[in-house]
């Protein structure tokens, strides 16, 4: 349920747990596009609130990452007061009607502390009352083969009457440690790898990038957008809400080379739709061309933290690592950080690729959990 781009199914496919996908539940059109592209023929039962138990075939395992925004810090932690938070009860309703033997749920770590722990206690009580023995643990993706600090709580329920042994707690020492970056070398027990050769290997697939074909003045675009925003009456807050952003639109109306920015093509067309501006700058802003990246040989890694990327600036066609500036992770890098295959989300705009990947479960962690379940069946 709440299947997104298929993180749970990818994790299951990479595990030793034999299974057959009988259907999924998703309403986001972009996530559905990716899911259907990879799992052709899978039936989408749609909105979880409308699924009736008698519509579903019998099944043994229910998995899902019910919407986390209601419990996350970024989502203001409104919990069950947010309609997204109440979607857990649709999972409970379906479990009550279909009685699957196992359920595996994922959510943000903030679920534990929301409302002083009362929200989590409610979830545990509901599942227990439904006849499930419940265990849970916070797991970090960095312990399971991807260089990303991503703590998520996983809840496993076992229907009473089946003798499956519990799998938690799992220690990080059982995982697959990732390479850790140190000054001048990448350390991956037990040997050291020189950064220059490792970086060249990692960046082979990122030899080209897309950039604007025509020079555009950020100050001119700022003045232009301000004029049309004032005509339309849209505030930056309202524009952010329209795009689903937080504190992003303001940068488009800020005449400042350090914090002002020109909208990317997708955002430009979205702005054109609501501000109804003319075609003066359409070509300059939205026409992209593919360019080749060249890297200087003396690449060094300055930041030793997990989930940090190489930092680079453009100078004379060369991309040089800088200790003071960072670049955004590419969509394909985000795919790797979540354990997906290269270009898993290809076909979506970059904005939607980032969004769907950010909402996804790390597939490596799912694989580990399913392998543990397979061992104890």
**Which residues are catalytically annotated?**
68
Question: Rounded distance, CA 245 to CA 264, Å?
Answer: 14
Of 164, 149, 154, 134, nearest to 366 by C-alpha is 154
Closest C-alpha among 66, 10, 6, 59 to residue 36? 6
Residue 337 and residue 331: Cα distance in Å, rounded?
Answer: 10
* Whole-number Å distance between alpha carbons of 236 and 213: 28
9, containing H or E segment: helix 7-13
DSSP 166-194: P-----GGGSBPPPEEETTEEEETTEEEE
Rounded to the nearest 5 percent, the helix, strand and coil shares of the chain are 40, 20, 45
Q: Residue 231 is encoded by which pair of tokens?
A: 């005509």
Burial of 328 (0-12, 13-18, 19+ CB in 10 A): exposed
Residue 144, classed as helix, strand or coil, is: strand
Element (H, E) at 212: strand 208-212
């Amino acid at each position: 349920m709440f299947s997104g781009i298929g993180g749970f199914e990818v994790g299951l496919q990479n595990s030793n747990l034999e299974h057959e996908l009988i259907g999924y539940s998703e309403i986001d059109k972009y996530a559905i596009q990716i899911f259907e592209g990879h799992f052709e023929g899978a039936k989408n039962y749609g909105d979880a609130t409308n699924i009736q138990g008698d519509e579903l075939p019998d099944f043994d395992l229910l998995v899902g990452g019910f919407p986390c925004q209601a419990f996350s810090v970024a989502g203001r932690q409104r919990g069950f007061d947010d309609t997204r938070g109440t979607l857990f009860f649709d999972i409970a309703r379906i479990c009550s009607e279909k009685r699957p033997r196992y359920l595996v749920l994922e959510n943000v770590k903030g679920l534990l502390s929301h409302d002083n722990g009362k929200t989590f206690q409610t979830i545990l009580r509901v599942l227990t009352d439904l006849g499930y023995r419940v265990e849970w643990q916070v797991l970090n993706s960095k312990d399971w083969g991807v260089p990303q600090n991503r703590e998520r709580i996983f809840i496993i329920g076992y229907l009473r009457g089946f003798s499956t042994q519990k799998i938690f707690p799992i220690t990080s020492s059982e995982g697959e440690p990732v390479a850790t970056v140190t000054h001048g070398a990448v350390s991956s027990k037990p040997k050291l790898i020189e950064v220059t050769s490792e970086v060249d290997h990692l960046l082979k697939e990122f030899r080209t990038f897309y950039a604007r074909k025509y020079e555009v003045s950020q100050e001119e675009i700022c003045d232009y957008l301000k004029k049309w925003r004032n005509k339309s009456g849209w505030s930056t807050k309202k524009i952010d809400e329209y795009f689903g952003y937080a504190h992003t639109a303001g940068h488009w109306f800020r005449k400042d080379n350090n914090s002002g920015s020109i909208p990317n093509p997708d955002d430009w067309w979205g702005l054109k739709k609501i501000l109804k501006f003319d075609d003066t700058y359409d070509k300059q802003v939205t026409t992209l061309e593919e360019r080749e990246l060249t890297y200087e040989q003396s690449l060094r890694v300055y930041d030793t933290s997990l989930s940090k990327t190489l930092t680079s600036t453009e100078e004379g066609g060369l991309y040089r690592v800088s200790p003071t500036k960072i670049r955004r992770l590419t969509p394909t890098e985000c795919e790797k950080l979540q354990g997906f295959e290269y270009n898993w989300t290809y076909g979506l705009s970059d904005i939607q690729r980032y969004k769907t990947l950010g909402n996804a479960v790390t597939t490596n962690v799912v694989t580990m959990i399913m392998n543990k379940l397979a061992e104890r069946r």
